[in-house]
Structure 1
């Protein structure tokens, strides 16, 4: 009888450990998760999906729930999209008075053979790790005696180590810092769009707004507060207070001058090459993020000599250090305005095409 009971206990333990349904503070743990943690003080919302032609075409809210303080995440599970190699649907929720009032389909996905399950995940509580004073990363006595391998805690003490989650690595006998979001490189990529003809019959020193066409901001951009806004029939790059490195990369092409010889345009002596020099004027304007008002600022000019033939692509690059000083009013931020011009000493004074899909700007927060 004792042997039978022991076997029964072991079998039950084995079945539990392989179930994959482990949850804390949730009666319906996610079947695809090893551990599902959710603590929501309210009534969970529910919804169903409709599929047509392998695509999610509609979402019906069966219960708007209550207690939502922000829009929850909408997920789709099952429906065959993963099995058949399709793509997952995406949607966002709208909340009013703590209730989900609408769900917008951002992408219907592909490959669904049946309607997927709509899972609405939202919370108004967080997961709090113990706050410890991890002053010595090599200590196995303080603040924890003989810490277990993989023990996680937040370093909240007054010490020089990262204010971040740490875990103990028994192989190295050290606390190791997890990724600190503040140490993650902050960048923005701006793609120019469409070819932009500039400097037609323009002599030395003449310039024109560079960012006239709409700009495409890459999804990998993660500078908080960065945006692109229209300004004076073109666009300006809006950045919060801080220091930045701005790298401008332009692919340019100048057709044969028409009429030839305008203002003395001529190739370099004994060749078919021209000195097609350029400059960019970087204007440090001020933008009031509260009122939406631009105030013109000072400019810095950066020149670059380019020797090229007509009808030949040539790459021009600039680097510019852009500092936006701190201000008591956090709404007073920077607005970078760019002008492209013809450099002094050039021997070509006619049209240049900025090739949009091969020209971009990279901004790095320092």
Structure 2
């Protein structure tokens, strides 16, 4: 309980300093922070990055700093819209007698439109919060009596509640779990843009590229390394994903107008009906994409068929699900490039044009 009392006092002290900054183990606290904790007391190193072709290609050390007792972390901030399609650069530092003498680029990243800021972060310790047994989220007596609003503790006890940081909310009079980033769903949403008409007077088995217009990527997409790339080898646009497992769901809003000319390919409604079997398939082609050279290598197809019974000039929805695996590779730049083709299913009774309507058509990718 002494630890809890200390934490309460600790944060109360910090709250009094909102007009300035509180620094612990640093003589120059960051002015943007009320509380700045750092266990590095030496001279910080400084470096600048060089960008070419959207990737970090070089790092120049302007000051190696001093006083490092362990290898510092190299981080990159800013430099363009990396979140909406690119990947962050990664690098490691070399330390000699407490001085940063070299920085090696492990991955130059992609999507940079300007040179990012290079931050060299020293220190090999963190902040230890009190380890509490928060068995009852509504308890105001145990493990802390009359907890203050905003009190923070880690639930490390033997109970079924989330093993994560919790804070006490006096409005609801409950402990609330903070977000566990590892359990946050990683998804990407793509909306179709532009019109697409395909399979005009085409018999069963015929197929055409599906993603011919650059799709719009939703701002909530958070799969690290995901992007859409124009496939210069096979046409259209491919969904580029890093090594891992994914569920790809394709949802299309389709419409088939009256055939022209009539009777194409044996087109005829179902017996005694005004409906047709407008069956479709998608070929999911697992190409390989080299992230450093921006090149595609053709891969194998997996065909998924969906039978749709509908009238002409009537919107019909079709949905496909595909389990997609990008295998592990020692070269982190060898990743997946998924290509999609829409085709006419066997035994269809309609063989003419189909329009993919952008409104209502989308692709959802979930990282598993």
> Shared fold by TM > 0.5?
yes
SS at match of 2:239: strand
Alignment of 1:1-366 (within 5 A): 21=19, 23-25=21-23, 36-37=34-35, 130-131=127-128, 134=131, 151-152=151-152, 165-167=165-167, 178-231=178-231, 232-366=234-368
Q: Is the Cα–Cα contact under 8 Å of residues 165 and 177 in structure 2 kept in the other structure? A: yes
SS at match of 1:222: coil
Give the equivalent residue in structure 2 for 1:107. Answer: none
For residue 152 of structure 1, report the CA deviation from its aligned partner.
Answer: 3.7
Give the equivalent residue in structure 1 for 2:103. Answer: none
For residue 241 of structure 1, report the CA deviation from its aligned partner.
Answer: 1.1
Q: Is the Cα–Cα contact under 8 Å of residues 249 and 315 in structure 1 kept in the other structure? A: yes
- Give TM-score, length-normalised by structure 1: 0.62
226-235 or 177-186: bigger deviation = 177-186
How many angstroms apart in 2 are the aligned matches of 1:333 and 1:72? 24
Deviations 1:272-301 (A, max 9, x none): 211110001111111111222211111111
For residue 27 of structure 1, report the CA deviation from its aligned partner.
Answer: 9.1
RMSD: 4.3
SS at match of 1:357: strand
Q: Is the Cα–Cα contact under 8 Å of residues 290 and 296 in structure 2 kept in the other structure? A: yes
How many angstroms apart in 2 are the aligned matches of 1:215 and 1:258? 30
Q: Is the Cα–Cα contact under 8 Å of residues 129 and 153 in structure 1 kept in the other structure? A: no
Q: Is the Cα–Cα contact under 8 Å of residues 18 and 34 in structure 2 kept in the other structure? A: no
For residue 130 of structure 1, report the CA deviation from its aligned partner.
Answer: 2.6
How many angstroms apart in 2 are the aligned matches of 1:285 and 1:237? 10
Deviations 1:210-261 (A, max 9, x none): 0011110000000000000001320000011111111100000111111000
Give the equivalent residue in structure 1 for 2:6. Answer: none
Give the equivalent residue in structure 1 for 2:106. Answer: none
For residue 357 of structure 1, report the CA deviation from its aligned partner.
Answer: 2.6
How many angstroms apart in 2 are the aligned matches of 1:301 and 1:217? 25
Q: Is the Cα–Cα contact under 8 Å of residues 30 and 36 in structure 2 kept in the other structure? A: no
Structure 2 unaligned regions, length at least 5: 1-14, 45-62, 66-74, 80-112, 137-142
Q: 1:326 to 1:134 in 2, by over 3 A?
A: farther
Q: 1:208 to 1:342 in 2, by over 3 A?
A: same
How many angstroms apart in 1 are the aligned matches of 2:20 and 2:300? 60
Q: Is the Cα–Cα contact under 8 Å of residues 195 and 354 in structure 1 kept in the other structure? A: yes
Give the equivalent residue in structure 1 for 2:59. Answer: none
Q: Is the Cα–Cα contact under 8 Å of residues 198 and 208 in structure 2 kept in the other structure? A: yes
- Give TM-score, length-normalised by structure 2: 0.62
Provide the aligned length of Structure 1 versus Structure 2: 277
How many angstroms apart in 1 are the aligned matches of 2:114 and 2:333? 28
How many angstroms apart in 1 are the aligned matches of 2:178 and 2:127? 15
Q: 1:155 to 1:330 in 2, by over 3 A?
A: farther
Q: 1:72 to 1:312 in 2, by over 3 A?
A: closer
